[in-house]
C-alpha cells in the first residue's frame, strides 16, 4: 500500500464522520443551544430582570432617600453635639481671666454667699406667708363654711411638704424676677448686661427663658406623676391640693363619705406636677448656687434675657432715682406681711374686745385695792415671811449691785476674746472668737427667770440663786456689748503702737482700754439698771429679794400689801433709772 | 547690701484680696542712710502700702524687705518687734489715743522697750519720763503734757505723733502723708521737725507726700509711684512739667502751695 492510498483511505473514513458531526452540530446542537439560550434570555429579560430591577430600585430608593438622609442627619447631629458640647464646655470652663479673679477672692466670688442668704430669707418670708395663708383659710373655713356638711377643711398628708417646697418655689420665682426682699437685703440687684436697670418686661422674660425652668418642668412632669399622683389616687380619702371641698352638689366633687371626686384627683395631679416641678427646679437652683460655677449669676438668662444679678455696691447707682416703697415688690411684700401678721395675730391671740369692756368692774376693784397700799410690813417683820418690805428691797438692790459687779469683773477680760479685730485671722483666733461669741449668745438668750429656776433647784431657794442667775445673764449680755465696743474702736492707735514695736497686750492696755472705758462704764450702769428691775421679779421663781414678798401677797390675795410692794419697787427703780441715766450722761 | 544702705526692697508685690487690687507691682528700691526720701503719686498709687509693707503692718504678698541687713519679711514676731521699734512712724490721721493724755501718748512710743511689769502698772522709768519731756520740748509742746490728746489742734496732734516717734530713738522715720490733714503753714513746720531729725540725729526719713512744692523743698530724692509701680526716681529738681504729667496723668496741673 502506498502512502497516498493510506491517506485516501483515512480521508474516506473520516469524511462521513466529519459530515455527521457537522450535521449534528449544525442541525441538532446549535438549535438546542440557541433554544436554551433563548429560554434563558427570555427568563432573564422578562422574568428575573424586572423583579431584580424593582429590588434594586427599592434598595436604591431606601439607600438614597431613607438611609442616606438619616445617616446624614445623624452625622449632622453628632456634629452639632460636638459643637454644642464645645460651646457648653466653653461655658463651664472658667475663662483664664475669671479664674485669676476667683483666686484673688473677688466680690463676685463672694457672690454665692449673698445668693444663699437671699434665698434663705425669701424662703423664710414665703414660709411665713404660706403659714399665715393656710391659717386664714382654715380659720375662715371653720368659721363661715362650718354650716356646710363638710365640717373641717382637711389638708392632704403631704400638705406640710407642699408648703415647705411651695414656699421655696415661690421664693425662687421671686428671685428670678430679681425683686425679692432677700435680694434687696443682701445687696443683690438685677441689671441689664450693660449695667442699666432692668425693666419689668426684662424681669418677666427671665422666668420662661430660664433653661433650668424648662428642663425642670419636663423632668418634673415625669417624676412628679409617680409618687404624688399615686398617693392621691390610692388613698381616695386624701383630699387633694388645698381642698376645695366646700362646694357641694356637684358629683365630680368629693362624695359624702369623704372620698375624692374625679376633679379632685385631677387637681391632685396638677398640684403634684406643680410641686414636683418646683422640687426639681429648687434643687437644681440650689445645686447651682452651692457649686457657684457661675458666680456672676444666671448665665443662661443673661444670654437670653440680657440681664444679670450683681451686687449693688459694684454699680454706679447714684444717678438712678430710687423707687418708692409701693413701686417695688419687696416694699409691697413688707406691707402685705405686716397686714397678714395683724390679721393672723388678731385671730390667733383671740382678741376679745367684749371681755375688755364687760369685765372692767373686776379690774376696778383690784386697782382700788392696789391704790390703797398697806405699808404695815414696810419696816416690821412679817411673821409668816420672816422679812419686811424694806429689808427685802435692800436685799434686792444689793443682789443687783453684786451681780452687776460680778458680771463686769468676769465679762471684762472675756470680752477681748470675743472681738474679731483682736483675735486675728488665724484658725485658733477664729475658734476662740467663735466659742466666746457662742457662749455670750447662748447664755444671753436664756432669760434670767429660767436661770433663777435652775439655780433655785441647784443651790436651793434664796438670794444666792438669784444672784448667780443675774450674774450669768449679765456676763453674757455685757460681754457681747463690750466685744462689739472693742470691735468698733479707732484702729489708728493700735496701728501706731504696733509700728512702735509694742506687744499685743501692751496694745490692749494702752491703745484699746482707754478708748473703750467710757462706753464700758455706760453699759455697766445700764446693766445695773436692768438688774435692779430684773431682781424685783426674780423672787417669783425662788430667787429671793422683794419678788418673794410680791408673789406671796399676790397668792394670799392681799392686794393692799401688793400695792405697797409695787410702790416701793417703782420708787426704787425710778430712782436707779434716774441716777444711772445721769451718770451715763456724765461719762459720755 | 552695702553698709550705707538702710533699707532695701526687692520685687515687692502686694495684692489686696478683697478688691482684687494690685497695690504694689514688683517694686524694688533701696534707701541710703541719712536720706530724705519722698514718695509721691496719686491717691491709691501704693505709697501707704509700700511704707506699711516695709515694717509689715501690711503683709506683702511676695518679695523681700531688708532693714539694716535683717530680712524683715522672714522675721519672727520678736525680731519683727525689734525691727519695728527702730523705725518711727507718723500717720495722716495722727493715730493718737484721743482720751489719753499727751504724756501717755508719747510714752506709748516707748512700749517696745518697756517690760511687762512696768507697762501693766503704768510705771514708766524715770529715764523714759524724762525722755518724753525732752521730746515734747523738742516739738514745743512741753506745756501741754497733761492735756488730753483730743483737746489739741491738728498740727499739735501731729507734733505729739512726732514726739511719740522720737521716743523710739529711731534710725528710720516713716511718714505716711503726715500733712494731708493740715493747713499749709502747719504742714511746713511738721516737715521741718522731720528734717531736723534727719539733720541732728542722722535719721533716715521716708515720707509720702502730695505736695510737690514741699517735696522739692525737703526731699533729697524723689520716688514716684503710679498704679503700684515706680515710674520715676531722681532728684527733686528733675521733675519738670513733662515728668509731672507722666506721674499724675495728662489732666493734672501742678498747684503751688506755699
Tens-place pLDDT, residues A342-370: 988 888 887 777 887 888 788 888 888 88
Strand locations in A375-504 (E): none
Confidence of residue A550 (pLDDT cuts 50, 70, 90): confident
Q: Which of B13, B20, B160 to mutate to test the interface with A (most CBs of A within 10 A)?
A: B20
Q: Give the model's pLDDT for residue B131.
A: 92
Mean of the per-residue pLDDT values of chain A: 76
Q: Do B57 and A493 touch (CB under 8 A)?
A: no
Which of B15, B19, B111 is opposite residue A497, by nearest beta carbon? B111
Q: For B96, which residue in chain A has the nearest alpha carbon? A: A493
Q: For A102, which residue in chain B has the nearest alpha carbon? A: B20
B-chain CB neighbours of A496 within 8 Å are 89, 91, 95-96, 108, 161, 164
Domain B1-86+174-258 is found in CATH 3.40.50.300: yes
Which of A106, A510, A517 is opposite residue B108, by nearest beta carbon? A510
pLDDT digits (tens, 9 = 90+) for A295-337: 444 555 565 567 777 777 777 666 667 777 777 788 888 999 9
Taking the CA atoms of chain B, what radius of gyration do you get in angstroms? 18
**Is A253's pLDDT higher than 60?**
no
Q: Which of A99, A111, A496, A522 to mutate to test the interface with B (most CBs of B within 10 A)?
A: A496
A-chain CB neighbours of B57 within 8 Å are 495, 498-499
Q: Do B119 and A514 touch (CB under 8 A)?
A: no
Superfamily of domain A374-587: MetI-like (1.10.3720.10)
Q: Residue A182: how many CA atoms within 13 Å on its side-chain side?
A: 25
**CA gap A207, A217 in Å, rounded:** 12
The rounded average pLDDT for each run of 10 residues, N- to C-terminus, in chain B (258 residues) is 80 78 87 91 87 90 89 89 92 90 91 85 87 91 89 91 92 90 86 90 90 87 89 85 76 61
Terminal-to-terminal C-alpha distance of chain A = 170
Q: Residue A571: how many CA atoms within 13 Å on its side-chain side?
A: 10
Q: What is the mean pLDDT of residues A430-440?
A: 92
Which of B97, B114, B168 is opposite residue A514, by nearest beta carbon? B97
**CA gap B181, A27 in Å, rounded:** 137
User: β-strand B221-226 against B229-234: which pairing, if any?
Assistant: antiparallel
Q: For A510, which residue in chain B has the nearest alpha carbon? A: B108
Specify the domain boundaries for CATH 3.40.50.300 within chain B.
1-86+174-258
A-chain CB neighbours of B20 within 8 Å are 101, 104-106
A-chain CB neighbours of B53 within 8 Å are none
**CA gap B74, B64 in Å, rounded:** 8
Query: Distance from B25 to chain A by nearest Cα, in Å?
Result: 15
Q: For B167, which residue in chain A has the nearest alpha carbon? A: A500
Report the range of poorest mean pLDDT among A98-102, A471-475, A542-546, A579-583.
Answer: A98-102
Give Cβ neighbours of residue B65 (< 8 Å, ≥ 6 apart).
B7, B8, B9, B10, B12, B53, B54, B56, B71, B72, B73
Q: Do A503 and B96 touch (CB under 8 A)?
A: no
CB B60: neighbour CB atoms within 10 A? Answer: 24
Q: For A101, which residue in chain B has the nearest alpha carbon? A: B20
State whether residue B257 sits within 8 Å of chain A by CB.
no
Give Cβ neighbours of residue A295 (< 8 Å, ≥ 6 apart).
A102, A108, A109, A111, A112
Give Cβ neighbours of residue A475 (< 8 Å, ≥ 6 apart).
A406, A407, A410, A411, A414, A443
Is A363 exposed, middle or buried, given 0-12, 13-18 or 19+ CB atoms closer than 10 A?
Answer: exposed
Report the range of poorest mean pLDDT among A240-249, A482-491, B25-34.
Answer: A240-249
State whether residue A511 sits within 8 Å of chain B by CB.
yes
Query: Distance from B30 to chain A by nearest Cα, in Å?
Result: 20
**Is A218's pLDDT higher than 60?**
no
Amino acid at each position: 500500500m502506498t502512502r497516498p492510498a493510506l491517506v485516501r483511505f483515512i480521508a474516506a473514513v473520516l469524511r462521513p464522520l466529519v459530515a455527521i458531526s457537522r450535521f449534528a452540530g449544525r442541525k441538532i446542537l446549535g438549535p438546542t443551544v440557541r433554544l436554551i439560550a433563548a429560554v434563558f434570555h427570555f427568563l432573564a429579560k422578562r422574568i428575573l430582570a424586572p423583579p431584580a430591577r424593582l429590588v434594586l430600585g427599592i434598595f436604591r430608593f431606601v439607600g438614597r432617600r431613607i438611609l442616606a438622609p438619616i445617616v446624614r442627619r445623624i452625622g449632622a447631629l453628632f456634629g452639632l453635639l460636638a459643637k454644642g458640647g464645645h460651646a457648653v464646655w466653653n461655658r463651664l470652663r472658667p475663662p483664664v481671666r475669671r479664674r485669676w479673679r476667683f483666686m484673688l477672692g473677688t466680690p463676685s466670688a463672694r457672690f454665692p454667699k449673698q445668693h444663699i442668704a437671699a434665698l434663705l430669707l425669701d424662703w423664710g418670708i414665703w414660709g411665713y406667708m404660706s403659714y399665715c395663708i393656710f391659717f386664714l383659710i382654715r380659720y375662715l373655713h371653720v368659721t363661715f363654711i362650718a354650716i356646710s356638711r363638710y365640717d373641717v377643711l382637711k389638708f392632704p398628708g403631704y400638705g406640710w411638704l407642699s408648703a415647705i417646697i411651695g414656699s421655696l418655689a415661690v421664693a425662687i420665682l421671686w428671685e428670678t424676677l430679681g425683686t425679692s426682699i432677700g435680694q434687696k437685703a443682701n445687696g443683690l440687684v438685677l441689671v441689664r448686661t450693660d449695667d442699666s436697670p432692668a425693666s419689668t418686661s426684662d424681669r418677666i422674660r427671665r422666668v420662661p427663658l430660664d433653661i433650668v425652668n424648662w428642663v425642670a418642668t419636663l423632668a418634673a412632669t415625669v417624676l412628679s406623676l409617680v409618687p404624688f399622683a399615686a398617693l392621691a389616687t390610692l388613698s381616695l380619702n386624701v383630699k387633694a391640693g388645698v381642698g376645695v371641698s366646700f362646694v357641694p352638689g356637684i358629683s365630680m366633687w368629693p362624695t359624702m363619705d369623704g372620698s375624692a371626686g374625679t376633679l379632685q384627683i385631677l387637681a391632685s395631679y396638677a398640684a403634684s406636677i406643680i410641686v414636683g416641678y418646683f422640687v426639681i427646679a429648687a434643687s437644681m437652683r440650689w445645686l447651682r448656687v452651692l457649686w457657684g460655677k457661675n458666680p456672676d449669676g444666671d448665665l443662661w438668662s443673661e444670654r437670653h434675657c440680657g440681664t444679670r444679678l450683681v451686687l449693688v455696691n459694684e454699680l454706679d447707682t447714684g444717678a438712678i432715682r430710687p423707687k418708692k416703697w409701693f413701686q417695688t415688690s419687696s416694699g409691697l411684700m413688707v406691707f402685705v406681711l405686716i397686714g397678714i401678721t395683724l390679721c393672723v395675730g388678731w385671730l390667733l391671740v383671740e382678741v376679745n374686745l367684749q371681755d375688755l369692756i364687760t369685765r372692767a368692774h373686776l379690774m376696778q376693784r383690784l386697782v382700788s385695792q392696789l391704790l390703797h397700799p398697806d405699808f404695815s410690813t414696810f419696816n416690821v417683820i412679817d411673821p409668816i415671811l420672816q422679812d419686811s418690805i424694806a429689808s427685802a428691797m435692800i436685799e434686792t438692790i444689793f443682789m443687783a449691785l453684786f451681780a452687776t459687779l460680778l458680771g463686769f469683773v468676769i465679762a471684762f477680760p472675756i470680752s477681748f476674746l470675743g472681738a474679731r479685730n483682736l483675735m486675728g485671722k488665724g484658725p485658733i483666733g477664729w475658734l476662740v472668737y467663735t466659742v466666746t461669741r457662742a457662749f455670750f449668745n447662748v447664755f444671753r438668750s436664756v432669760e434670767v427667770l429660767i436661770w433663777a429656776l435652775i439655780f433655785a433647784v441647784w443651790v436651793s431657794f434664796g438670794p444666792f440663786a438669784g444672784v448667780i442667775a443675774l450674774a450669768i445673764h449679765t456676763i453674757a449680755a455685757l460681754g457681747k456689748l463690750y466685744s462689739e465696743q472693742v470691735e468698733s474702736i479707732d484702729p489708728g492707735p493700735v496701728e501706731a503702737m504696733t509700728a512702735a514695736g509694742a506687744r499685743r497686750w501692751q496694745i490692749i492696755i494702752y491703745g484699746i482700754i482707754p478708748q473703750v472705758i467710757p462706753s464700758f462704764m455706760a453699759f455697766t450702769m445700764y446693766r445695773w439698771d436692768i438688774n435692779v428691775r430684773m431682781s424685783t421679779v426674780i423672787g417669783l421663781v425662788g430667787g429671793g429679794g422683794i419678788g418673794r414678798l410680791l408673789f406671796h401677797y399676790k397668792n394670799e390675795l392681799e392686794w393692799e400689801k401688793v400695792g405697797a410692794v409695787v410702790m416701793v419697787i417703782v420708787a426704787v427703780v425710778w430712782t436707779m433709772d434716774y441716777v444711772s441715766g445721769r451718770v451715763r450722761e456724765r461719762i459720755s | 547690701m552695702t553698709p550705707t544702705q538702710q533699707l532695701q526692697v526687692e520685687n515687692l508685690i502686694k495684692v489686696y484680696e478683697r478688691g482684687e487690687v494690685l497695690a504694689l507691682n514688683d517694686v524694688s528700691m533701696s534707701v541710703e542712710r541719712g536720706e530724705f526720701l519722698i514718695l509721691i503719686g496719686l491717691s491709691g498709687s501704693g505709697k501707704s502700702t509700700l511704707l506699711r509693707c516695709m515694717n509689715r503692718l501690711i503683709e506683702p504678698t511676695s518679695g523681700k524687705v531688708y532693714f539694716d541687713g535683717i530680712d524683715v519679711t522672714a522675721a519672727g514676731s520678736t525680731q519683727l518687734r525689734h525691727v519695728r521699734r527702730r523705725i518711727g512712724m507718723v500717720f495722716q490721721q495722727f493715730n493718737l489715743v484721743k482720751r489719753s493724755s499727751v504724756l501717755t501718748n508719747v510714752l506709748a512710743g516707748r512700749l517696745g522697750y518697756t517690760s511687762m511689769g512696768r507697762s501693766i502698772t503704768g510705771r514708766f522709768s524715770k529715764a523714759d519720763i524724762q525722755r518724753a519731756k525732752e521730746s515734747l520740748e523738742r516739738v514745743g509742746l512741753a506745756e501741754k503734757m497733761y492735756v488730753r490728746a483730743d483737746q489739741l489742734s491738728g498740727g499739735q496732734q501731729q507734733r505729739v505723733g512726732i514726739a511719740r516717734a522720737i521716743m523710739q530713738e529711731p534710725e528710720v522715720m516713716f511718714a505716711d502723708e503726715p500733712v494731708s490733714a493740715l493747713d499749709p503753714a502747719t504742714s511746713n513746720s511738721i516737715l521741718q521737725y522731720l528734717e531736723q531729725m534727719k539733720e541732728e540725729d542722722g535719721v533716715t526719713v521716708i515720707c509720702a507726700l502730695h505736695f510737690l512744692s514741699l517735696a522739692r523743698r525737703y526731699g533729697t530724692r524723689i520716688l514716684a509711684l503710679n498704679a503700684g509701680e515706680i515710674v520715676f526716681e531722681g532728684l527733686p529738681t528733675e521733675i519738670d512739667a513733662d515728668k509731672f504729667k507722666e506721674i499724675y496723668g495728662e489732666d493734672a496741673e501742678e498747684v503751688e502751695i506755699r
